[in-house]
A and B are shown apart, each in its own frame.
Chain A
Amino acid sequence: MSRSAAPRRSRTEVALSIGVLVLGVGTAIGTVLLPSQGGYARIGPNFMPGVTGAGLILLGVWLLYEVLTGGWRNMPPQDAAARGEHSFHAPAFAWVSVGLFAHMALIQTGGFVLAGAVLFACVARGFGSPRFLRDLAIGFAIALAVFAFFVLVLTVNLPAGWLAPLIRLAGIE
């Protein structure tokens, strides 16, 4: 059990370490492309990117070294049950993501209330709630209340979407 888990763990650690290294190299390349005008003695707008890039490269190498010499140090237990959790549940991850993407797609056309209701229902679904329509209704009520509070009390603009004609009718604006 633990033997089969160990290689997978180090594979993610390798991937993350390489990710840090790649970010460092990318930063370094970006630094070279920056002009260094302004400032004294090589201290232009490309100085800090250089330091950051170098630091990230060093840290990436350091992380890789830890992987190669027995894995990252002081890690929480790899086994989910030992952390008091269950194993990775992909549908939950996907539902939360879908909710957020739907929210991005809807907020400017459909308005804050609609986008919020859909987001709410998707996230609730991901966390195991079986009643999508009820959640949609609850999300709608919450988003509507927040919308009203922000627009009427705080006078902060939020996209009204389909509510816009209604608001104009009521003459609130």
Chain B
Amino acid sequence: MHGFEVALLPMNLLWGAIGVTLGTAVGVLPGVGPALTVAMLLPLTVKLSPVGALIMFAGIYYGAMFGGSTTTILLNTPGESASIATALEGNKMAKRGRAGPALATSAIGSFIAGTIATLLVTLLAPLVVEIALKFGPAEYFALMVFAFTTVSAVLGASTVRGLTSLFAGLFLGLIGIDSQTGQPRFAFGVPELLDGVDVVVLAVGLFAVGEALYVGAYASRIPEVMDKITGSLWMSKSDWKRSWPAWLRGTAIGFPFGSIPAGGAEIPTFLSYAVEKKLTRFPGEFGHGAIEGVAGPEAANNASVTGALVPLLTLGIPTSATAAILLAAFQNYGIQPGPMLFQMQADLVWGLIASLYVGNVMLLILNLPMIGIWVKVLTIPQPLLYGGILVFATLGAYSLHESVVDLATLYVFGLLGFAMRRWDIPVAPAVIGLILGPLAETQFRRALSISQGDPSVFYQHPISATLFALTALLIVVPWVMRRVKKTRAAQR
């Protein structure tokens, strides 16, 4: 409860409000997802106190998600894979002149899911901390390998491309001074590289510069069609009646997926969509703008994103690109999330968690009435929009160390992002690999130095053995299932 005293300080409330507003304003821009929004707005917080900065970040995070949903519904351009399910029905609703209720059910659903999920984080985090305190380096390493596998090999269209992205990120994580021995690695004599590759530069390069190059080259000469908000902004009685069970089911599906260190709001949103489609009493409306199809996935998305704070805060393991950037923001303040954080800096953690409640409320009361303004942001012509995005992207990269080398690196990552986008290589595993790779290496070497070089620590400790077994199952089972399907198809 002390957390609320921190979060409700007038200054912190102000930072939260600024965060929510800016997050929405940037997140609503087409092509700008939550990860990029958080990365681009990072320089804004450099001069703030850690608590103020993290509270502002929580606001940006929620605002960016809300802004992204608005764009998805009105423009049918999902900024991230977790929004695809929303686009299915949301854009159909907008086309039928029901954009208002679609936006409302998305905003209120996100609020309810976010609030319930934050409550669950509050209850669950101390329990996870209890368990995490018993973890040694071997368990942490196993957990990180598990997270690597789920974000790269299991999600996405291709296991090999996901793993390639992950290993590219691991390679980038090697660059710089080895934290254990002080040995420079892969710095090629460039002093700026000794500090390592910054996650923000990688994320902004891949997401903003790569996206600008891609959209410019392949989609800059296509007129965009936006659906106007016509009719009532408010939901009718039947909208409410159909929305609230979907919100609750979406939350129930989203939170568990977010809180296990596996990541990705993609699966729960599609799962929620499928569940709503199955349970609806209006099956004829699905595919033509059914409100449950917006309410469920939006709630699932928000619950899963909030749930992802459990592994991030208690274990220090990010499971999405956005969480990876949040972790980088923590590290900028010299804060390493993990079980110790709850003991050493309880004020900060509980202040942050309390500010999530506050941020949710703010989002609802600030943004719903301001929807008209956010829709205007969407009408910015594409040339000016991308000009502005790149001005902010370069600002974000440059202000980290005031170095032109960072700008050159940014462009190289932009080319990489372009190629990855064009040849369908997922980007998030690279970002997670960059930040989690060095942490995994540290845990691995620590585990082996404690055991004096005996690798049996990894399979003799029951927890790490279980995690490794689960990881192996995650890789083998889908592969076997595909084989079985293939031979069955061949027999027919």
Contacts and interface: CB of A to CB of B under 8 A. Distances in A.
Contact of A44 (B157, B181, B383, B402): B181
Given A95-B216, A129-B384, A37 B181 contact: yes
Interface string A44-66: 11011100100110010011001
B183 A34 contact: yes
Interface string A112-139: 1001100111011111110000010011
A40 B394 contact: no
B231 interface: no
A128 B384 CA distance: 10
A7 interface: no
Contact of A100 (B163, B209, B437): B209
Given A74-B158, A100-B407, A127 B183 contact: no
Interface in B440-470: 441, 444-445, 448-449, 452-454
Interface string A157-168: 111000000000
| Residues of B in contact with A, size category | 35 or more
Interface stretch (B43-51, B310-318, B361-369): B43-51
B130 interface: no
A70 B343 CA distance: 55
Given A23-B168, A89-B218, A120-B388, A48 B437 contact: yes
Contacts of A85: 218-219, 222
B419 interface: yes
Nearest to A104: B407
Contacts of A68: none
Contacts of A129: 381, 383-384
A32 interface: no
A124 B423 contact: no
Contact of B390 (A63, A72, A96, A154): A96
A40 B448 contact: yes
A18 interface: no
Nearest to A131: B383
Given A119-B391, A135-B383, A104 B219 contact: no
A41 B447 CA distance: 12
A142 interface: yes
Contacts of B407: 100, 103-104, 107
B185 A16 contact: no
Contacts of A6: none
Given A35-B183, A97-B411, A123-B390, A92 B217 contact: yes
A118 B72 CA distance: 31
B221 interface: yes
Contacts of B47: 154-156
Interface string B150-185: 000000011011011001101100100010110101
B383 A156 contact: no
B310 to A, nearest CB: 27
B388 A127 contact: no
Contacts of A3: none
Interface in B396-418: 398-399, 402, 404, 407-408, 410-411, 414
Interface of A: 12-13, 16, 20, 23, 27, 30, 34-35, 37-45, 47-49, 52, 55-56, 59, 62-63, 66, 72-76, 80, 83-90, 92-93, 95-97, 99-101, 103-104, 107-108, 112, 115-116, 119-121, 123-129, 135, 138-139, 142-143, 146, 150, 154-159
